[in-house]
Amino acid sequence: MTDKEANLPPLDQADHEAHQDNEDTAWAVRVEPLGRTFDAPTSLTLLEAAGFAQLRLPKMCRNGTCRTCMCKLASGSVSYTIEWPGLTREEKAEGWILPCVAVAQSDLVIEVPDATDI
């Protein structure tokens, strides 16, 4: 799903530029409806990167099984730190992700209604 299809504004140029930090790429992640953007290095899960950016995302187990952090990926792509996260094939196809075990592979827009600033 593209930003346009999700009725979300596109990332601006400052948000869109990925950084090189030695071997670690950081991608811009925008959290809606909060409207905050943070950098997510490929060495961290989305949940970890959000915490470093002073954002609180729903969490409980942090290992991909409880589904407390489940949220919608509006745009972009992720990979997982575990072989099969606690999502069905249908949920994955619908764009659901688990930020506790997901790693950004591009700039992202995620829909997390319960996200808050710390």
Q: Which tokens belong to 117?
A: 């600033």
β-strands 102-104, 78-80 pairing:
antiparallel
Compute the half-sphere exposure of residue 118: CA atoms within 13 Å on the CB side of its CA.
9
- Per-residue model confidence as pLDDT tens digits over 69-91: 999 999 999 999 998 889 999 99
SS3 assignment, position 38: strand
Position 84 scores a pLDDT of 86
- Is the predicted pLDDT of residue 13 greater than 70, yes or no? no
Stretch 107-117: mean pLDDT: 97
Whole-model pTM?
Answer: 0.80
Quote the tokens at residue 50. 């959000």
Q: Which of helix, strand or coil describes residue 52? A: helix
Domains in the chain (CATH in brackets) are: 13-113 (3.10.20.30)
pLDDT confidence band for 24 (50 / 70 / 90): confident
Q: pLDDT exceeding 90 applies to what percent of the chain?
A: 77
H runs (alpha helix) in the chain: 13-16, 46-52, 89-93
Average model confidence (pLDDT) across the chain = 87
Yes or no: say if 71 and 97 are a contact pair by the CB < 8 Å rule: yes
